[in-house]
Structure 1
């Protein structure tokens, strides 16, 4: 009998806690039938204090390409055209965007970012020669803020897009040398835009 009374008391307490409206609001009575929807909208983006911009979808189209190089792939797999956009600053970070178009010896195959980078993850570095600083791809734990090297790929003559996020420029830097892999020549004097 005692177990039934305790269970009933806990159930009542949980029900009351779950039904309590947030402090300072009357639930649906205050906002009408969509009172919860307005709160959800503010939480998900719009004008809340954590909002960083307008929601949208990343463009997969090439922007303004500022430098291009042809590289030879390891293992006699062919060549690739590598194109790079200007570094784009957004608040406390900047994004590097690269497009790779493989020209494969085996035209029925495909090239992943992982194999393009000679079996390494995508961890580009930026060098500010004037201020003797190097910027590395940001990481959280072991996860880099960059394209997934094994999931990003393209077939012969097709193009894949790769990106990496790094700290925003300091010391008034307006351009960087960019290293995407130790096996390819670096890009030099890549401009920064806001």
Structure 2
């Protein structure tokens, strides 16, 4: 399959403004964070404590509901056999010239300050996230500007045990007339197949 990651200059500029307006200060919890060069731009609003983190959502989505999703599955965290993560897809939509994927992530193990980075295996950079168009043999990766990916920051986006947190990622608009994608979160997990794509433009 061919990786497609092109989009209009206008859409990139709009996303850069959105991310810069919402970017939090880097947070730390005493654990090793990924190298700065691999860290994507921050987007989600993050709190330092579990109470704040558990209440955060994504841009335009507050207090995400893990039951208000169009697809849902529970996976074992890569490299952590005793930890399970509930992953819900809230929406997959083309709006404002880009394709937006909204996830609701709920860690099912005990913890008070759990990062998305930890939920997705402790080596997550965003490059694993893919939208796959099986019919046209194409896949789309997260939009980027230099080393920065247009998605919520997996380090500063955090929550507590059993508490859902929202996560956003932005992809190019489809090159073909498709109405569903397979969504890959991690290559070690089964993909979400046939996730419906809505168009709001």
TM category (shorter chain) comes to 0.5 to 0.7
CA RMSD of aligned residues (A): 2.2
- CA-to-partner distance for each residue in 1:145-188, whole Å, 9 max, x for gaps? 01101111111111111110001122101100011112322111
SS in 2 for 1:171: coil
1:81 corresponding residue in structure 2: 86
Matching of residues 89-168 of structure 1 within 5 Å: 89-104=94-109, 107-118=110-121, 119-123=123-127, 124-168=129-173
Q: Does residue 60 of structure 1 match 2:62?
A: yes
Shift of 1:77: 4.2
Shift of 1:51: 8.9
Alignment length (residue pairs): 139
Q: Give the structure, 1 or 2, with the largest relative contact order (CA under 8 Å, sep 6 or more).
A: 2
Mapped to 1, the partners of 2:61 and 2:74 lie a distance apart of: 24
Which residue of the other structure, out of 64, 69, 76, is the alignment partner of 1:72? 76
**Is contact 2:64–2:165 with CA below 8 Å preserved after alignment?**
no
Structure 1 runs of 4+ off > 6 angstroms?
none
Mapped to 1, the partners of 2:102 and 2:144 lie a distance apart of: 17
Stretch moving more, 124-133 or 75-84: 75-84
Matching of residues 169-180 of structure 1 within 5 Å: 169-180=174-185
SS in 2 for 1:89: strand
Structure with a larger share of its residues in helix: 1
TM-score by length of 2: 0.63
Mapped to 1, the partners of 2:14 and 2:142 lie a distance apart of: 23
- CA-to-partner distance for each residue in 1:39-69, whole Å, 9 max, x for gaps? xxxxxxxxxxx999xxxx6122447511100
TM-score by length of 1: 0.65
Shift of 1:122: 2.5
Structure 2: segments with no counterpart, 5+ residues: 1-12, 16-58
Mapped to 2, the partners of 1:125 and 1:84 lie a distance apart of: 13
